[in-house]
Amino acid sequence: MKLILHNTEDSFDVVALSNLFYPRDGFTEEKGKILTVTRTGDSFEAVFSVNGNTYTSVHKIHSELYDGERCAIKSACYDVFRAATGIESPWGLLSGVRPIRFYETALSRYGEKTDEILQKFYLVTPEKIDLCKRTMEGQEAARAANRTGDAALYISIPFCPSRCKYCSFVSQVTGSEQELIPEYLTVLQEEILAKAALANENGHRITTVYMGGGTPTTLSATQLDELMKTVAKAVDVSSLLEYTVEAGRPDTITAEKLKAVEANGATRISVNPQTLHDEILQNVGRRHTVADFHRAYGEARKTSLAVNIDLIAGLPGDTPKGFEQTMQGVTALDPHNITVHTLYLKRAADYAEENPEEFTKNARETVEMVHISQAYCKQYGYLPYYLYRQKNTVGNLENVGYAKKGFESPYNIYMMDDLQPIYGAGANATSKFIENRTVSRVCNTKFAYNYVKEKWK
């Protein structure tokens, strides 16, 4: 897309907004789209030419808004992109990844008029406003439990039994990499002990531990047991607010591994089917079946662990009806948590470019699927407790963690809102330090083989 600006230099907002409709399209002259934004007095005009059509919109700067200029320029661009693509974004002009932060800022500026202003000027749907409010309610207890000096330990297990087609993580497929695991675990355990010592030196108390992946249950029961025993040496497991092992793929979960996880003090596990349709699982390369999920979930429920189920809205081949069947199946199992992600597309721009009609249809249907998930979670007593948006998700949507009251994951809340420092251990893990509300990050080396070679230092 070629961008021409007159009397304004706000390309940041224009680019952010265009990414909602043309993800990662980039501003070059090659794609046959021209967007011209002109400021005249207290108005912005956007003129967008694409495929021989031209769309125009003009918006005034509203002085009652604290960011009136940004709102006007985005509104004009939103109109022309919506007219050209037929896509409506339920989050309206909001392009950031943390809608709750925006909602809190809006509340502090507009008070009781917040919802009205968000709908009228920022084009946020009432459903998303309700989601923000309910998410804030769902976070209250965890936020209140967070004390100065509390910190998190994140442990990365970057191995999976096979690679899902939509995967955007740095995860090694076990098999050829299998022999790397013992060495990886040796180095990882050294780092866990070192990071816990560093937390101690910094006056931090680890209150949440999150073992994520990849697929942590790719490890054998003995390996999990040994690793978790090291965690127990590093931190006081009995006083943790949360200790999650994100098991992940049902085909890797066994009763023996669950026993090891439970015996070593974990409080929460994630069993992730993503969908309850076998043909979709096959299509996306998950290499497990719905029956595998039911077996693994059944085993997990025999333990004392709280169980989370991860789903993805917008998977290739899924439909709103199919997704509703998945929601029916999952809510009938009565898990403690349900996390609904929206499909992230690494190559979203190519998809939109190569299959524009399919992309628009998929975006519309994903909006419907997310709507269905919200309705089911509400009906079955799940409160949203964390919420974030990711660039390049189908339909400009969000990822939401839902929980039965008292089963929220504090780690997710603290991590998302930068409420605690994080000590990261393992390949591709990030440590996060917060000083005077400024966040600095230290990233470990990305790949497991480098991590082993370089001994994480």
Contact set with ligand SF4 (CB under 6 A): 160, 163-164, 167, 169, 171, 213-215, 248-249
Cα distances (Å, whole numbers) of residue 224 to 95, 100, 157, 390:
40, 36, 11, 31
**Least distance to ligand SF4 from the beta carbon of 155, Å?**
15
**Least distance to ligand SF4 from the beta carbon of 310, Å?**
9
**Least distance to ligand SF4 from the beta carbon of 305, Å?**
19
**Least distance to ligand SF4 from the beta carbon of 216, Å?**
10
3-state secondary structure the chain: CEEEEECCCCHHHHHHHHHHHCCCCCCCCCCCCEEEEEEECCEEEEEEEECCEEEEEEEECCCCCCCHHHHHHHHHHHHHHHHHHCCCCCCCCCCCCCHHHHHHHHHHHHHHHHHHHHHHCCCCCHHHHHHHHHHHHHHHHHHHHCCCCEEEEEEEECEECCCCCCCCCCCEECCCCCCHHHHHHHHHHHHHHHHHHHHHHCCCEEEEEEEEECCHHHCCHHHHHHHHHHHHHHCCHHHCCEEEEEEECHHHCCHHHHHHHHHCCCCEEEECCECCCHHHHHHCCCCCCHHHHHHHHHHHHCCCCEEEEEEEECCCCCCHHHHHHHHHHHHHCCCCEEEEEECECCCHHHHHHHCHHHHHHHHHHHHHHHHHHHHHHHHCCCEEEEEEECCCEHHHCEEEEEECCCCCCHHHHHHHCCCCCEEEECCCCEEEEEECCEEEEEECCCCHHHHHHHCCC
Identify which of residues 175 and 356 has a Cβ nearer to ligand SF4 in the complex: 175
Identify which of residues 12 and 169 has a Cβ nearer to ligand SF4 in the complex: 169
Identify which of residues 24 and 163 has a Cβ nearer to ligand SF4 in the complex: 163
Identify which of residues 129 and 427 has a Cβ nearer to ligand SF4 in the complex: 427
Identify which of residues 171 and 362 has a Cβ nearer to ligand SF4 in the complex: 171
Identify which of residues 92 and 273 has a Cβ nearer to ligand SF4 in the complex: 273
Identify which of residues 17 and 157 has a Cβ nearer to ligand SF4 in the complex: 157
**Least distance to ligand SF4 from the beta carbon of 318, Å?**
16
**Least distance to ligand SF4 from the beta carbon of 213, Å?**
6
**Least distance to ligand SF4 from the beta carbon of 171, Å?**
4
**Least distance to ligand SF4 from the beta carbon of 215, Å?**
5
Identify which of residues 215 and 230 has a Cβ nearer to ligand SF4 in the complex: 215
Identify which of residues 161 and 421 has a Cβ nearer to ligand SF4 in the complex: 161
**Least distance to ligand SF4 from the beta carbon of 274, Å?**
8
